[in-house]
Structure 1
Amino acid sequence: MNQPYPPLPADDLQLLQQAGDTYARLKDEIGKVIVGQDDIVTALLAAIFAEGHALLVGVPGLAKTLLVKTLAEVLAWDFNRIQFTPDMMPADIIGMELLQEQADGKRGMNFVPGPIFANIILADEINRTPPKTQSALLEAMQERQVTSMGHRHVLEPPFVVVATQNPIEQEGTYPLPEAQLDRFMLSLYLDYPDVEQEEQIVMETTAGPRTAASPMPTGGFITKDQFIAMQALVRRLPASQHIVSYAVALARATRPNSAAASEVAQQYVEWGAGPRAGQHMVLIGKALALMHGQPAVTAEHIRQAAPHVLRHRILPNFQAAGEGITAGDIVERIVSEISEPSYA
């Protein structure tokens, strides 16, 4: 059997408890504005605790923008919304060098930061802008810095990009390249609310004056530095070899030409997930453990993370499209078929 994990230091145990309390408070505050979508909120918070970026996919009217704005308000982080359009240029995102008069009266080049310089970025309808502009966002997401006229400018932590796209509109869009999709730790597919939730939404939004959402507590219960410390603790939480093997097995099962390919991948997948999928499953698993005050990641955490991590990293083939089988369907079957590696 695997040896038990060594106990966490006392400071880490205290921080772990604080992280669990913070997660519960965040969920409660977000729930005052967002009706339902509990699984989406949990997964999005896990991505943020794991220092990752998320892609929200859903038809109009499912509160994608409201969710991200509410999250920024609750955390009291700097927030910018970037509405992507076909005529947008990289400088519209990262900023530009401008010739300006200096204090000594001489003229010089000064960098004017763009909207990417914030803690939470809402990249709204990201697939409506050309690849050249998408690539500027890609550097910021991956390197956490931007380059303008050969000069690098660091993006201060915490830094999170939450992008949205509409799955039903294809005209006038630029599909995200695989390299950029892989930079998103999670893809979260929002569904319609159930009847009780929809009735609650209609009731709450049609009673009284038409105003913005009720004021939310901003700051007060966690600072940026405290949250950054919790993000660092995520990586310090232990994950045993069998947990890592389980995540890797799930990723390898999606690759149709791999010896470890599952039957459904061989039949319906054009290409599968790369090594980053295993990394992100373990990180999200650790974040979920942290959020629930647990000192180590478990197989259940990996199972919970897998659909959100894998879905946007596999490409269904023509046969899958012809039979109406989606990437989500394929991932669901793979997760159900791959057994957790033995603890022995």
Structure 2
Amino acid sequence: MTKLKAGIIGCGNISPAYLTYLSRSPYVHIAACADIVLDKAKERAAQYGVENVYTVGEMLASPEIDLIINLTIPASHGPVSLQALEAGKHVYVEKPLCLDLPEARSILALAAQKGLRVGAAPDTFLGAGMETARNAIHQGAIGSPIAATAFMVGSGPELWHPNPEFFYTAGGGPMFDMGPYYLTALVNLLGPIRRISGSAGIQISPRRIHTGEHAGDEIPVHVPTHYSGTLDFAGGAIGTLVTSFDIPGGSQLPRMEIYGSAGTLHLPDPNYFGGEVKLRKPGNEEWETLPALFECGGNERGRGVEDMARAIQAGTLHRANGLQAYHVLEAMHAFERSSREGRHIELESAPDLAEYFSQLPKNGSK
């Protein structure tokens, strides 16, 4: 099988995970690295044996590159993805798809116009943990899904990150930083979200850096740091999601649970690809650990790219797709919008995503 030739734009901290995983892929060949700081691209290329180092312009102009893997900072996700599509390349982008909905709609429209694919992280939902849970739900292990809870709560990144300012500006905060993992997992388990009601606020401000050369400096906070809301899924289940950087004392809340008419699933952290899935049936005091659908290979960031490349060559649909990423982006904005406007927010993308999902295979990916 001929591998799809891909180029990575953005050779920062997340790029090694992609390069490590995709170096073993039978569907993708990383042919080039590019970065606005060319030395970063040279360093990554040397480290992983990538044969070409380009400027961003050279990467986009190269006829050898079929797919751009956009690992730039969130503020650049939209502009770089649009440039890649204009250049006739498929694009896979780190989360979130971009920062605002009009730009996201432009990305999807341009891809449709040019007959190109858009894929987007997170792809942790394709890992053994969430796929085992998805299979259990489809097999009727918990009956009809009734409700879900998801909690991502803790202290802010200023406790461990030496330069955490960006977490408290546009595109940051607990919802845009970690929300995509939880929302994407929930959507893949329960289907599209019909409407959202939420509250969002800045509960602790300013922040103080605890480590590095800026330790002791204060950070102004420009985005909500605590979100709490209710998600009404199109299939009827009702979900609760809390994301927060305002819990300095920690928590014993579960990461995720799905409640059904015939049982409960306890799920692992959706930020990772593996983890145990546990089932408890009515009347049972003990939890049963379900056998994993397949073995987890650790940090598998790049699964979504691989699935997309395989689908492009086979002419089938891919699962970490742009429409799903748009739906998650719309949901994240809906929490803050609901809080500001004091009403439920209907998600316009729900019907289109439901149609897309109806065409995907029901069996788990391996």
User: Normalising to structure 1: TM-score of the pair?
Assistant: 0.28
Larger Rg: 1
Between structures 1 and 2, the one with greater strand share: 2
* Structure that is richer in helix per residue: 1
